Structure 1
Amino acid sequence: MLGLGVERLRADMNRLLALLFHQGVLDEQFLQLQQLQDEASPNFVSEVINIFFNESEKLLRNLRGLLMEKEFSDYKKMGIHLNQFMGSSSSIGAKRVRNVCVAFRAASEQHNRAGCIRALEVLEHEYCYLKNKLHELFQIEQQRALAATVRYPMQQN
């Protein structure tokens, strides 16, 4: 009975990952990140992703702060933040987030404030979707790992 629960959770994880790849949310870099995880570092992926989330929250705050300045003109600083966001999202395989950063940077390079504001809204949406789905994936993974380690005593007749 125990094995069925573990297999069901593994199947749930695989379905969610397949959906995220089909939607273009993730790319093969995420799989490469998963391959770096082993028994010596069983939480490697979630730790890397949590670092990404923490850094991304700061970058989003900085981008929003720049765009909300009444006399905004520091497109160079915005470009620096966007390059950081693009690099970190690429390194974890967050394809759609990276693609929005590319479009955002193009608007920034054209000094298109309205385009930047729209791009920021899309970026925040894509980031939240990614964050929610990866949290869901990690919760299933935790349940699977827990189910795999639970042992029930043998009943004596």
Structure 2
Amino acid sequence: MESKHVNQQIAAMRQSFFDELEDQNNPNFVEEVFTMYFRDSTTLLETVEQAMKTISITLAKMDKILHQLKGSSASVGANKVLNEINKTRQVLEKGNLEGTKAGIWEMRKKYGSLKAKLEPYFQLKQANSVPQEK
């Protein structure tokens, strides 16, 4: 029973946090930030994946793309994605392309997991923010 109460407190605190970020002038701020993150990050991930298929990709160019993805992930608090990016960059620094490919796959998994958890939350939030007809 104690655990249920704690979980309710955590949910209320999380909602309070979102309420601090959003107001009536911008009620979907958090959703908009993550929408931009998902759009930009998807593009960067696709660029990285395509770059890995070409022979002409340089380590410096790959690192630049990963650095951009790292900044985006850090700015929204996507820590699991960020950790995978850091690991992948370390492997890339050593010139290990197979390890880099594996790291990119892990990044994609963490990114997909985050997206799969947040999108239903935002959909539910939108559905509940629509005024009910009387």
**Shorter-normalised TM-score: what interval?**
0.7 to 0.9
Between Structure 1 and Structure 2, whose CA radius of gyration is higher? 1
Other-structure match for 2:43:
58
Contact 1:107–1:115 under 8 Å retained in 2: yes
Other-structure match for 1:68:
53
SS of the aligned residue for 2:68 comes to: helix
Indicate the structure whose relative CO is greater, using CA pairs within 8 Å and at least 6 residues apart.
1
TM-score (norm. length: structure 2): 0.82
CA deviations 1:1-58 (Å, max 9, x no partner) are xxxxxxxxxx6xx39x7xxxxxxxxxxxxx5x76322111011111111111111111
Kindly report structure 1 stretches of 4+ aligned residues shifted beyond 4 Å.
none
Structure 2: gaps of 5 or more residues: 1-7
| Residues 1:137 and 2:105 aligned together | no
Task: Tell me by how many angstroms 1:60 deviates.
Answer: 0.7
Contact 1:36–1:44 under 8 Å retained in 2: yes
Q: Distance in 2 between matches of 1:62 and 1:151?
A: 45
Other-structure match for 2:95:
111
Contact 1:59–1:81 under 8 Å retained in 2: yes
SS of the aligned residue for 1:41 comes to: coil
Contact 1:34–1:45 under 8 Å retained in 2: no
Structure 1: gaps of 5 or more residues: 1-10, 18-30, 153-157
Q: Distance in 2 between matches of 1:126 and 1:35?
A: 27
Residue 101 to residue 34, structure 1, CA distance change in 2 (3 Å): farther
Q: How many residues align?
A: 123
- Counterpart of 2:111 in structure 1: which amino acid? Y
Contact 1:103–1:119 under 8 Å retained in 2: yes
CA deviations 1:60-92 (Å, max 9, x no partner) are 1111111111x2551111111111111111111
Other-structure match for 1:127:
111
Identity of aligned pairs, percent?
Answer: 30
